[in-house]
Amino acid sequence: MNLGFTEDTEPEPHPLKKGTRKRPTSMIWVSALGASLAIVAAIGGYVYTDGLGKTTADIEQDQKPPDASRTAISSEPSQSSVDDRASHGSPEAERTNTPQEATQEADGVQILALAEAKVLEVKQRAAQMAPSKRGDRKTARAANGRGLAELQSGRVAEAISAFQEGHQADPADVEVLNNLGHAYLMQSDLESAERYILATLALAPQRTAAWSDLGQVYGKKGDTKSAVPAFANAYRFSQNTDKTHQFFLGLMERENDPNLKQALQQAIQVAEKAFLTTRTP
């Protein structure tokens, strides 16, 4: 999966697959989705749209929706397992969360609720928009290729010009739109980046790369409360959460913006309990 720009045509999302990921171990996280849905009913969500291009990081872009196990609630433990723990005096059964751990878990549940609300807002926004008509795909693809070459050479302004040409040729090309928003992010034009990334997510609400870029936009704006749920959705819709995790760890190391680093740190903490199959050492 690549969370940056790419010249590859992205496939349509596939139906959810089940049973490919480990369930969260914390019982608080076991009930996270139920709590999320209750909070979503009371919270006005945030509107997001998918507008990433792809970076040169060795993380390939995931276009498929996540396993149901990433966001679904784990079932109650079986009675036999409960009895077994009780009979053997399992330390895990006797352990209680510290106040700090309880606070972190409560914060995580709220973040997941906000992330779900943002997805719902994206879908509502998409329902209100007129469908994008396909244009001249050949011209759009050629312009996209030129834009990618300019980005790789560090000529961001020239890349934006090429992506704009591609977007005008085919407004329904999600990758071109995503790359345009990503290029504006690289240029530090956060307002334009947000606009095109939100437009991308309206067309493709499960696009991991766009959620990643959107999180970076909000992080650089100092809006940590919006950035963290966006990053959480990048994990949620990722086909390979472990690689996505490594991408975000690297991004946190490279970035100097304190607000963005804080948002990444919080999202990583939530992801390690809610989405990952392995933990960071």
Q: Give just the sign of the alpha carbon dihedral 148, 189, 174, 131.
A: negative
pLDDT at 133: 79
pLDDT tens string 225-237: 999 999 999 999 9
Average pLDDT of 21-28? 41
Q: How many domains, the chain? A: 1
Structure token digits, residue 74: 């784990």
Q: Using a pLDDT cut of 90, give the percent of the chain over it.
A: 52
Structure token digits, residue 180: 């345009």
Residue 13 lies in a domain: no
How much is the mean pLDDT over the chain? Answer: 74
Dist. CA 264–CA 216, nearest whole Å: 9
**What residue numbers bound the domain in which 39 lies?**
27-274
Residue 16 lies in a domain: no
Structure token digits, residue 214: 């959107």
Dist. CA 153–CA 159, nearest whole Å: 9
CATH of the domain at 126: 1.25.40.10
pLDDT tens string 30-88: 344 444 444 444 444 333 333 333 443 333 344 444 443 343 333 343 443 434 444 44
Residue 5 lies in a domain: no
pLDDT beyond 80 at 155 = yes
Closest CA to 74 of 122, 131, 14, 32: 32
Dist. CA 216–CA 222, nearest whole Å: 10
Residue 7 lies in a domain: no
Residue 254 lies in a domain: yes
Residue 175 lies in a domain: yes
Closest CA to 257 of 223, 208, 212: 223
Dist. CA 151–CA 184, nearest whole Å: 11
Residue 216 lies in a domain: yes
pLDDT at 247: 96
Give the orientation angle of helix 258-274 with respect to helix 99-128, to 10 degrees. 100
Residue 20 lies in a domain: no
